[in-house]
Amino acid sequence: MPELLAFDKVCAGYGESIVLEDVSFSMQEGDSLALLGRNGVGKTSLLVTLMGLTRLHRGGLRWAGQDIARMPTWRRACTGLGWVPQERHMFPSLSVEEHLTVVARPGPWNLAKVYELFPRLHERRANMGSQLSGGEQQMVAIARALMTNPRILLLDEPMEGLAPIIVQELVRAIRRLVADEGMSVIVVEQHARLALSLTARAIVLDRGRIVHDSDSASLLADGDRLDRLVAVA
């Protein structure tokens, strides 16, 4: 299967400050990756580097065989990078349906399909962004990314601060995306065991470097190693 995404000895950060050091990994179409590590080790920075929002000091970035190191963020999104940022970025005066249709691009993901994935959003489709709970906002953020018909979904702390019942709904949706839809995903998540249960592969970062790379199942089965690597449950 052809390579979809590759980091090649990437050193990146903010201004002169380097956060990611010599990061190398690749993914193929349909791969699912849990990106784990303690707070502040560079997980979110890896995602925003892929989106072009950090300074790339050294190394290469390839997306679908194309060098994207100097490609602007908007073009990266148009080529199939679907980013769901931790902040969600809701517009308070737009309805749920407006959030979704304003970014829609041709492809299999349309209103009917995202409403089928998230029935709660169909019920709330006329509600403004300011009228949604945190969990509903997260569903909108994921559905909005899907409406761009991406080739990969980048999920930054999708479960953070959400009620258990909402977490269960999001887990079901992400499992379906990976298992049934064949969607490529990178999941950044503090709940390491949950992230491992959703993905096939795991990378652990520490101080901006990859310190572990394995299949998710073996890391999930080795609780002592997991705790040493990430120090979270």
Per-residue pLDDT reduced to its tens digit, 106-135: 999 999 999 999 999 999 999 999 999 999
Give the tokens for residue 41.
Answer: 């080790």
With a pLDDT cut of 90, the percent of the chain lying above it is 91
Per-residue pLDDT for 102 more than 70?
Answer: yes
pLDDT of residue 2 exceeding 90, the answer is no
Q: Beta partners for 84? A: 155
Helix or strand (DSSP H, E) at 44: helix 43-50
For the domain made up of 30-53+73-230, the CATH class stated in words is: alpha beta
Q: Which long-range contacts (CB under 8 A, 24 or more apart) does 102-108 make?
A: 103/144, 103/147, 103/148, 104/147, 104/148, 105/78, 105/147, 105/148, 105/149, 106/149, 107/149, 108/149
**Rounded Cα gap, residues 29 and 22, in angstroms:** 23
Tell me what pLDDT residue 233 has. Answer: 43
pLDDT at 87: 85
Identify whether the C-beta of residue 143 lies closer than 8 Å to the C-beta of residue 121: yes
